[in-house]
Amino acid sequence: MKIRTLLVGLMAVGLSAAAVAAEPIVIKFSHVVAQDTPKGKAAEKFKELAEKYTSGAVKVEVYPNSTLYKDKEEMEALQLGAVQLLAPSLAKFGPLGVREFEVFDLPYIFDGYEALNKVTQGAVGQQLLAKLEPKGIRGLAFWDNGFKSFSANSPIKKPEDLRGKKMRIQSSKVLEEQMRELKSLPQVMAFSEVYQALQTGVVDGTENPHSNLFTQKMHEVQKHMTLTDHGYLGYAVITNKKFWDGLPAEVRTQLDKAMAESTAYANQIAKEENDKALEGVRASGKTEVYTPTAEEKAAFKKALVPVHKKMESRIGADLIQSIYKETGFDPAKL
Which residues sit at the interface with ligand LMR, rule CB under 6 A?
A: 32-33, 89, 145, 170, 191, 212, 233
Nearer to ligand LMR, 89 or 117 (CB): 89
Least separation, in Å, of the C-beta of 168 and ligand LMR?
8
Nearer to ligand LMR, 145 or 239 (CB): 145
Is there a contact between 286 and 198 (Cβ–Cβ < 8 Å)?
A: no
Least separation, in Å, of the C-beta of 3 and ligand LMR?
40
- Residue 334 and residue 315: Cα distance in Å, rounded? 22
C-alpha torsion sign, points 196, 217, 103, 179:
negative
Nearer to ligand LMR, 51 or 71 (CB): 71
Least separation, in Å, of the C-beta of 73 and ligand LMR?
13
Q: Is 81 left (phi over 0), alpha (psi -120 to 50) or beta?
A: left
Nearer to ligand LMR, 58 or 129 (CB): 129
Nearer to ligand LMR, 38 or 292 (CB): 38
Least separation, in Å, of the C-beta of 89 and ligand LMR?
3
Least separation, in Å, of the C-beta of 33 and ligand LMR?
5
Nearer to ligand LMR, 206 or 240 (CB): 206
Nearer to ligand LMR, 55 or 145 (CB): 145
Nearer to ligand LMR, 32 or 140 (CB): 32
Least separation, in Å, of the C-beta of 263 and ligand LMR?
16
Least separation, in Å, of the C-beta of 191 and ligand LMR?
3
Count Cβ atoms within 10 A of the Cβ of residue 218 and give its class: 0-12 exposed, 13-18 middle, 19 or more buried. Answer: buried
Q: Which residue is nearest to ligand LMR (CB)?
A: 89
Cα–Cα separations (whole angstroms), residue 74 to 9, 33, 85: 34, 13, 9
Least separation, in Å, of the C-beta of 262 and ligand LMR?
16
- Residue 122 and residue 116: Cα distance in Å, rounded? 10
